[in-house]
Structure 1
Amino acid sequence: MSWRIRMNIDSSIELKPYEILSIPLNRQLNNSWNRSKIQFYLTNSISNRQNLKSLMQTHYHINIKRCLSKETESIITIEKKQKISIESSNFILVCGQNICGQLGLSTTIIERRKPQYLKIVNKLNQDENIQYICAGGMHSCALTITGYVYTWGCNDDGALGRITDDINDEYIPDLFVLPEEIQSLCAGDTFTVALAKSGRAYISGCFRCSEGLLGLFEYKQITQQSIVIPLNQSIKQIACGADFCLLLTENGDLYSFGNNETGQLGRDSHLEPKENSSVWLQPSQISFFHGQHILNIWAGGHGFFVLTQNSTIHLFSCGSNSFGQLGHSLKQPIYLPIEIKEISFVDKIIKISCGLQHTLILDSNGYVYGLGRSDDGRLGNNLINDIIIPKQIDNLTNIIDIAAGGSVSFVINKYGQIYSFGMGDTCQIGHGNEDIFIPTLIKCKQLEKRKIQQISVGAQHTLFLVKEDLN
C-alpha cells in the first residue's frame, strides 16, 4: 500500500487565469517516506482515500506571485481569436484506472473498461484541439495545436507542473504554465518534460529509485513547477523512461540524467543513490555515442535504444535486461550501450516502444516484432518464454504506429484501427479486465467512424488521440 500525503494551500488571494504560483525550494513537501514503485500503487476504495486524506493532510502557506510575461500575453491573444472547427479537431479518449485522476474523469469514477471521451476546455470554455498526448506513470499530458500543455492525475511528486489545492484539482485537466510555445511532450513515472520550439526544455516533478525519492538536479529535491533543464545546447528530441530522461541536441550529442540503478543512463555510474546522486541527477553526455550520427532515440521502463548511422545502420541498447527486453542474452543490467546484432531488419526500423519488461519494434514494411517478457499476452503470440531475438507478431500487417505499456501493447493500422493485447487487470487495453493473448481489435461506440491518431500508455491507464472519420 502506498500512502499519498496531500498538501493544502491557504490563500486569500484569488487566482486569475494564467497566473503562476511560486514556492521556494526549501519549502518543498518532505518526501522522506519510502514508497513502492509506481506500477504497484493500490487503493482499496474511494472512502479509504478520503479517510486517508483527512488523517494525513499537511497545511502549507505560500506566497502567490504573478508572473505574466509578454510571451504569455501573446499566446493568450491567439487563443481568444482561435475558432476550432469541430470537424477537424483531434480529441482524447481514455480507459483504465482513475484512482489518481489519470483519466481526467469524475472523482466518482474508479475505472473505465472501454475508451471514453475526455473533454478538455480552455479558459474561455472552448474545446481544445489536441495534437499530441503523453501518459506518465499515474498522470497524463496533452499538447494543443496552439502550443499549450494540459496535465491531470497524480501530483504527489509535482509531475503536473502546477499547484493542486486538493485531490479534486488533480482530476481536472488544467494548464501546465510555461513561458513559451511547446512543440512536444514526454513523461516518466513522476515527472513531465516539455520541449519548446526554441530548443529549451522544461521539467517538473522528480525522479525516484528503489529507495524512494531520488530528486531532480539535487538529491531529494521536488520541483512542483517547471524549470529549465540546464543544458547549453539546443535540444531537438527527448525520450523518457520510468525514472530517467534522454536529451538529443541539435549538435548530435546525447545526454542523460535521472536514476541509474540498472544502467539506464548509459554512463556506467552504478553506485548507491546516496553515494552518486549528484552524478546521476545532472545532465551529462553519454560519451559512448560521441562522434556518432544518431538517427533516433527511444526510452521506456528502465532502458533505452539508440539507432545510429555511419557507413551502416546500428542499433544499441542499455539498461535493465532482466527478461531480454533489450535484445541481449545476458539477463542483467547493461551499464554501457551494447550493439544488438541479431536484428536482420535494422535498416528498416522506424519506431521502438518500451514497456516495463517487453519491447515492440515497428519496421517500414508495417510489421511488428516483440522482445522480452511474453507472458500475459504482452507480445501477442500466446507465448510464455522470454524472447531474446525479435519475433514477428502474427497477423499484424499495415501497422503505422505502436505503443507498449507496463504489461500491455497497442498497434494502429493504416486504416486508423487499433488492436491491443496483454494483461487486462487494469482495464487499460480496452477489452475489460480479461487478458488478451493475440492482437484483438478494440470495438466500442466511441471508436465508431473515428480514426486513431496516437496512443500513449501509462502504468494503469491509456490515452487515445482520435479524429472524426469524414470519409
Structure 2
Amino acid sequence: MAEEVQMHSGSSSGSDAVSGPIRRVLLISAGASHSVALLSGSVVCSWGRGEDGQLGHGDAEDRFSPTQLSALDGHEIVSVTSGADHTTAYSESQLQVYSWGWGDFGRLGHGNSSDLFTPQPIKALQGLRIKQIACGDSHCLAVTMEGEVQSWGRNQNGQLGLGNTEDSLVPRKIEAFQGISVKMVAAGAEHTAAVTEDGELYGWGWGRYGNLGLGDRDDRLVPGKVSTIQGEKMVLVACGWRHTISVSSSGSIYTYGWSKYGQLGHGDFEDHLIPQKLEALREHRISQISGGWRHTMAVTADGKLYGWGWNKFGQVGVGNNVDHCSPVQVKFPLDQKVVNISCGWRHTLAVTERQNVFSWGRGTNGQLGHGDSVDRNIPKIIEALSMDGSSGQHIEASKVDVSSEKAWVSPTERYAVVPNENSAEPFGHNGNDVNVPETDVKRIKI
C-alpha cells in the first residue's frame, strides 16, 4: 500500500492541488507538444499544449504542470497513449477505448472529424479486449488480445493497412493479418510497423525514406513483411516521425528509414532502406525503445538510457543542443535506472526506478511539466509526480466543469478549410500556419 502523505493544498492558475496517497507513475506518453501520465489508482494526468483539446480538460488552455484528468476518474484506466495532437486511454474493466483532442481525418475514431475537449468512448471498439494502442501523427491502431488489428484516421499513404488510401473515420480491421497474430504495432507520421507473436516484422504506409524496411522507397497499402534479419525474431517495434526502430529477442536494436539528423544512430546521416543493427549498442541488451519526431531513445536491461538524433531543443538530454548520429548516455541524479521512456516530437519523458519522473527538451507549451515554458537539455525532475520531489507529490486538479462544457466542436467552428488552387489564400493569426506544409491538405487554424 502506498505511504499516506498530505499533499499541499495551495492553488495556481485556476486549479486546486489534490491531497491523498503518493501515487506511482505507471505509464508516460509524449505527444507533439503535450504529455500524459497514468498513475496508480487509475489516475490520469495531462499537461502541455491544449489548443486542440488533447489534454481532455474541457478547454483549449495549456497546462504547465501535471493536472488530473477528472473526466476519467472512476473509469479504471490501464493505459494511455498520445498521438501528435490527440490522446487515447483504455479501461480494461469496461472494455472501452476513449479518445479526445484534434479530430481531423477521423483520428479519434468517432465517425466524424470533430475535435473533442473531453474523453469520449469509441463505440466501434466497445467490448474488445485491447492489448495495445498506438497513435501516430494522424492515425491510430489497436491490437486486440486475440492478435487482430483495428486502424482508423488518416490514410493518404496507406498507413491504415486497409488496401486503399481512403481515410477511415471509424476503426476497421486489417484483413491482411487474417490468420496472423500481431503482438504490437507502432505508428509514425504516415507509416506503421508491427511485430507478430512469431517475431516477424511488418511495415506499411509511407515509405519514401526506407522507413518500412522493405528495401525500397515505395508506399505500401497493406502490411509487407520485412526480410528476416540474421534469423532473429523481433519482440519490440517503435516509430519516429519517418524512421523505425526494432529490438530482437536477443536484445539487439535495429533502425531504418530517415537519418538526416542522425536519428538512426549509425554514426552517419544516411538513410537505410532495411533494418541495420546498431553496432554502437551491441554490448547492451535493449529492453525499451521510443522514437520522437527526429530523435530516438533506448533503455538497456540494466536501466541505462541512450539517446541520439535531432537535438535542437535538448531533447536527447545530454547537456547540449548538437545533433548526435551515435548513441550518447543520458545521466540522472544518483545514477537512477530508467524503467519507462517516451519521446514526443521535441521533448522526452522518463520514469526511474525510484519512482521519479524526468523531462527535457522543448518546453514552450509546458509539456515538460515544470510550471514554466523553458527548454532544457538535461533531465529535470517533475516535482509534482515524483517521490523525490522537494515538496512531495503535488498534482493539480482541473476546476473545469466538464459537464457544462461543449464536448464536440465541429471543424467549421475552429478552422478555416484549406482552399483549392482556385480560391483565395488561407489565413491564420499571422498568415499561414508555419507548421502546415503548403502541399498538405490540412485545415489551417485561425
Compute the TM-score of the two structures, normalised by the length of structure 1: 0.67
| Alignment partner, residue 451 of structure 1 | 337
Q: Could you tell me which residue of structure 2 aligns to residue 249 of structure 1?
A: 144
- How many correspondences in the alignment? 342
The question of whether the paired residues in 2 share the 8 Å contact of 1:403 and 1:455 is answered with yes
Q: 2:267 aligns with which of 363, 379, 382?
A: 382
Q: For residue 225 of structure 1, what is the amino acid of its counterpart? A: T
Q: Distance in 2 between matches of 1:165 and 1:388?
A: 40
CA deviation vs aligned residue, 1:380-424 (integer Å, no higher than 9, x gap)? 122232111211112212222211111111111222111111111
Q: 1:155 to 1:239 in 2, by over 3 A?
A: same
1:288 to 2:176 alignment:
yes
> Is residue 207–residue 244 contact of structure 1 (8 Å, CA) maintained in 2?
no
In the alignment, is residue 321 of structure 1 matched against residue 321 of structure 2? no
1:166: Cα distance to partner? 4.1
Give the superposition deviation at 1:298.
2.5
Query: What CA deviation, in whole Å up to 9, does each residue of 1:307-366 have, x standing for no partner?
Result: 335xx653221111110011023313211111112533442x121111011111112222
Q: Is the 8 A contact 1:190 1:208 kept in 2?
A: no
Q: Matched residues, percent identical?
A: 28
- The one-letter code sitting in structure 2 at the alignment partner of 1:302 is E
Write the distance in 2 (CA, Å) between the matches of 1:404 and 1:350.
Answer: 16
Q: Which runs of 5+ in 2 are unaligned?
A: 7-11, 356-446
Distance 1:122 1:133, change over 3 A: farther
Partner Cα separation in structure 2 for residue 163 and residue 259 of structure 1: 24
The match for 1:124 is 19
Q: Distance in 1 between matches of 2:231 and 2:82?
A: 29
* 1:220-273 Cα distance to aligned partner (Å, 9 max, x none): 3011111111124332321211211111223432111111111111113314xx
One-letter amino acid matched to 1:171: F
Shift of 1:429: 0.5
User: In the alignment, which residue of structure 2 is the partner of 1:398?
Assistant: 285
Instruction: Map residues 262-277 of structure 1 onto 2, 5 A cutoff.
Output: 262-271=157-166, 277=167
C-alpha root-mean-square deviation of aligned residues, in Å?
2.8
Three-state SS of the structure 2 residue aligned to 1:173 is strand
1:38-78: CA deviation from partner (whole Å, max 9, x where unpaired): xxxxxxxxxxxxxxxxxxxxxxxxxxxxxxxxxxxxxxxxx
**2:242 aligned partner:** 357
**AA paired with 1:333?**
D
**Which residues in structure 2 correspond to 1:40-439 (within 5 Å)?**
82-83=2-3, 123-124=18-19, 127-164=22-59, 166-167=61-62, 170-176=63-69, 177-178=71-72, 179-198=74-93, 199-208=95-104, 217-230=110-123, 231-232=125-126, 233-271=128-166, 277=167, 280-308=168-196, 313-347=199-233, 349-396=234-281, 397-431=284-318, 432-439=320-327
CA–CA distance in 1 between the matches of 2:146 and 2:249? 27
1-side partners of 2:196 and 2:302: how far apart? 31
SS at match of 2:176: helix
Is the CA contact 2:82–2:88 (under 8 Å) kept in the aligned structure 1? yes
Amino acid at match of 1:256: S
Q: How far 1:295 moved relative to its partner?
A: 2.7
Instruction: Give the match's secondary structure for 1:171.
Output: strand
Structure whose residues are more often helix by fraction: 1
SS of corresponding position for 2:311: coil
Structure 2 distance, partners of 1:125, 1:240, is 32
Amino acid in the other structure paired with 1:200: Q
Tell me how far 1:122 sits from its aligned partner. 6.0
Q: List per-residue Cα deviations over 1:197-238 (Å, max 9, x = no partner).
A: 2221111113446xxx97752443011111111124332321
CA-CA distance at 1:369 after TM superposition: 1.1
Distance 1:379 1:185, change over 3 A: same
Q: 1:214 to 1:237 in 2, by over 3 A?
A: closer
The answer on whether the counterparts of 1:421 and 1:437 sit within 8 Å (CA) in structure 2 is: yes
Compared with structure 1, are the counterparts of its residues 456 and 215 closer, same or farther at alpha carbon in structure 2 (3 Å cutoff)? closer
Other structure's SS at 1:265 match: coil
1:464 corresponding residue in structure 2: 350
Contact 1:420 1:439 in 2 (8 A): yes
CA distance in 2, matches of 1:219, 1:83: 45
Structure 2 letter corresponding to 1:427: G
Residue 261 of structure 2 aligns to a residue whose secondary structure is: helix
Structure 1 contact 380–394 (Cα < 8 Å) conserved: no
* Mapped partners of 1:207, 1:264: distance in 2: 17
Q: Return 5+ residue gaps in structure 1 as ranges.
A: 1-80, 87-105, 108-120, 272-276
Q: CA deviation at 1:461?
A: 0.7
Q: How many angstroms apart in 2 are the aligned matches of 1:240 and 1:296?
A: 12
Task: Work out whether residues 423 and 436 of structure 1, in 8 Å CA contact, stay in contact via their aligned partners in 2.
Answer: yes
Does structure 1 retain, via aligned residues, the 8 Å contact 2:305–2:338?
yes
Query: CA 1:359 to 1:214, structure 2 compared with 1: closer, same or farther past 3 Å?
Result: closer
What CA distance in whole angstroms lies between the structure 2 residues aligned with 1:164 and 1:264?
A: 30
Match of 1:44 in 2: none
Contact 2:307-2:329 at 8 Å conserved across structures: yes
SS of alignment partner, residue 395 of structure 1: helix
Query: Partner of 2:360 in structure 1?
Result: none
